[in-house]
Amino acid sequence: MEISKAELSAAQNTAGPELMGAEILVKAMQAEGVKYIWGYPGGAVLYIYDALYKQETIQHVLVRHEQAAVHAADGYARATGEVGVALVTSGPGLTNAVTGIATAYMDSIPMVIISGQVPTPAIGLDAFQECDTVGITRPIVKHNFLVKDVRDLASTLKKAFHIARTGRPGPVVVDIPKDVSFKKIAYPGYPQSIEMRSYNPVKKGHSGQIRKALQLLLAAKRPYIYTGGGILLGNATQELRTLVDMLGYPVTNTLMGLGAYPASDRKFLGMLGMHGTIEANNAMQNCDVLLAVGARFDDRVIGNPKHFAQNDRKIIHVDIDPSSISKRVKVDIPIVGDVKDVLTELIAMLRETTQRPDAGALNAWWEQIEGWRSRDCLKYDRGNTEVIKPQYVIETLWNMTKDADAYITSDVGQHQMWAAQFYKFDEPRRWINSGGLGTMGVGIPYAMGIKLAKPQSEVFCVTGEGSVQMNIQELSTCLQYNTPIKVLSLNNRYLGMVRQWQEIEYSGRYSHSYMDALPNFVKLAEAYGHVGMLIERPQDVEPALREARKLKDRTVFLDFRTDPTENVFPMVRAGKGITEMLLGSEDL
Ligand SMILES: Cc1cc2nc3c(=O)[nH]c(=O)nc-3n(C[C@H](O)[C@H](O)[C@H](O)COP(=O)(O)OP(=O)(O)OC[C@H]3O[C@@H](n4cnc5c(N)ncnc54)[C@H](O)[C@@H]3O)c2cc1C
Ligand SMILES: Cc1ncc(C[n+]2csc(CCOP(=O)(O)OP(=O)(O)O)c2C)c(N)n1
Ligand SMILES: [Mg+2]
């Protein structure tokens, strides 16, 4: 439904220092320190676009598909810790954004998504481009709002940003009907603070519980520290390093936590879980005291819960979200609180006490771990001169960039796992990928979102020829906004992760996992105004990467033709325990 001329002029003729809803929205975002918005216009958001046109502090990036707008803002949020903001129109704009919102929700990423809605009198009338945004997004947001009155707009936005970034972060959708964006009111200013009776996330952990946890940790014979995305979300890497240094205990990260603890340190056992290392998974199964911090015992981490429960261990679980605790695995000492606060208090208590870990037991535990580690479960055919091994591409990238200011984004599939296994992340927020939803198509949008905010950094997108085609249109956005990224496509001509499962679980019946009729990616990259490179021989991997890096101001698409039959190992098969790992094709 269109807004009538009479309504429009009534709104516009109002005298005094009044602002339209769209202008209030812009002021709110400015007050929140928003620098970038990724979005796509349409009828329901044209007043908002008009208000954006009249200001200079917020840069809007016009993507080519709304899904990518949300992913780009999400990538920006993951790399910077700021709230990522996306703007979409009603109906198809919002439905296109759904995958992006769900992706951010599953990984607890702070975001505000502004969507246009049909004018309030038209809601429920099957109006043009109407959809029930609040209903559609309810299960995939931390919270959502439909703003029915322009007078509520500023306070709603204040709440939205507050909810998105506090407690367990997450995406918040604010649905703004078109009449709300054009109506004018006397603007009282942006609220300084906000009170929400029903929303008060706990920050400080219970000191008694923390003390109990410390006692248990110090009495442990086979201690283990299992950390996840919560360490990064809570900016607690320094505290984690201090604690691990003081205790000397082994530590592992989930896929989402990589970089929370330096991967090149000996105390790090690598990622755990379905594609984790032997040492990380065996330590998980055999420890007697587990300190879980900012990790949520995902099914890809614990494997079959019955197998996990076979070994007795005491579990301490620190998480800001009480609903994460004892969700899948029953824990002994729950501590609800912010990781940074809780670890700080734990470290302070540790400094106060003279009690120290049992050195003899710890040595014996480390010996056992080194035995597992010596099996070198990530070994692969490094010397192959015939075909490019995908692991080799990642190892080469890591060797070349380990001292550089680099961000690595990934898509979803085998290439994602090889990136996680072979790139040794030493710093937080450098590894940007979709873990919980596992969304193919995030790689390029994540990279361009980060590059915009970090123009001096190198941004690499590790992808597969399947995933990359899900948002390849964003190469056009990269050109328009001068966000030169390097796309490393590990092109195995297969939906490799699917092919791997079909090989292992479905007796080699490769049902629809072969990527036929692939485009010429070099020409495609060139058509988008970028540089394309085809790399077919192992000896060309390093020179190609070197050349691509030299082209600092260009987006380069590197099409690596990799071994089509390579599989990701170790692998825990469906239904198996985390120590029942396949280490190579010979185990099949
Ligand atoms: C193809 C594929 C394969 C995968 N294989 C593996 C694998 O082998 N191993 C693996 O680990 N994962 C794997 N995953 C990822 C997996 O699906 C999960 O996304 C991941 O294990 C979850 O990581 P996390 O436990 O760190 O949780 P996150 O989703 O990062 O959750 C963070 C937790 O921290 C809490 N938190 C947030 N902020 C704070 C704070 N400030 N203070 C305290 N707590 C906080 C949250 O409440 C939440 O419970 C795979 C994904 C894909 C797509
Ligand atoms: C949007 C979406 N659809 C389907 C899947 C299921 N899936 C997971 S990995 C994968 C194959 C990915 O292929 P490719 O990008 O070529 O990566 P590879 O595994 O070959 O490295 C598929 C189809 C998914 N994760 N996301
Ligand atoms: Mg592939």
- Ligand 1 in contact with 18 (CB < 6 A)? no
- Ligand 1 in contact with 236 (CB < 6 A)? no
Q: Closest by alpha carbon to 378, among 265, 269, 460, 464? A: 269
- CA dist., res. 195 & res. 59, Å (int): 30
Domain with CATH 3.40.50.970 in the chain: 5-186, 390-568
Atom of ligand 2 nearest to the CA of 438: 25
Atom of ligand 1 nearest to the CA of 254: 11
- CA dist., res. 184 & res. 566, Å (int): 61
Residues identified as active-site: 66, 128-129, 178, 497
CATH architecture of 207-373: 3-Layer(aba) Sandwich (3.40)
Domain with CATH 3.40.50.1220 in the chain: 207-373
Q: Which CATH class is domain 5-186?
A: alpha beta
Place of tokens 């790139």: 423
Q: Is the pLDDT of residue 585 over 90?
A: no
Run of H or E including 448: helix 443-453
Instruction: Report the CATH fold assignment for 390-568.
Output: Rossmann fold (3.40.50)
Ligand 1 centroid distance, CA of 299 (Å): 10
As a whole number, mean pLDDT of residues 407-431 equals 98
pLDDT-wise least confident of 7-16, 32-41, 162-171, 533-542: 7-16
Ligand nearest to the CA of 438: 1
Q: Closest by alpha carbon to 296, among 228, 350, 360, 245? A: 228
- Residue-wise pLDDT for 318-328, tens only, equals 999 999 999 99
At 540 the three-state DSSP class reads: helix
Per-residue confidence band for 9, with pLDDT thresholds at 50, 70 and 90: low
Q: Residue 4: its pLDDT value, please?
A: 61
Atom of ligand 1 nearest to the CA of 298: 21
Side chain identity, residue 438: G
- Residue-wise pLDDT for 370-417, tens only, equals 999 999 999 999 999 999 999 999 999 999 999 999 999 999 999 999
Side chain identity, residue 12: Q
- Ligand 1 in contact with 415 (CB < 6 A)? no
| pTM greater than the 0.85 cutoff | yes
At 277 the three-state DSSP class reads: coil
Ligand 3 centroid distance, CA of 432 (Å): 19
Run of H or E including 340: helix 339-352
- Ligand 1 in contact with 254 (CB < 6 A)? yes
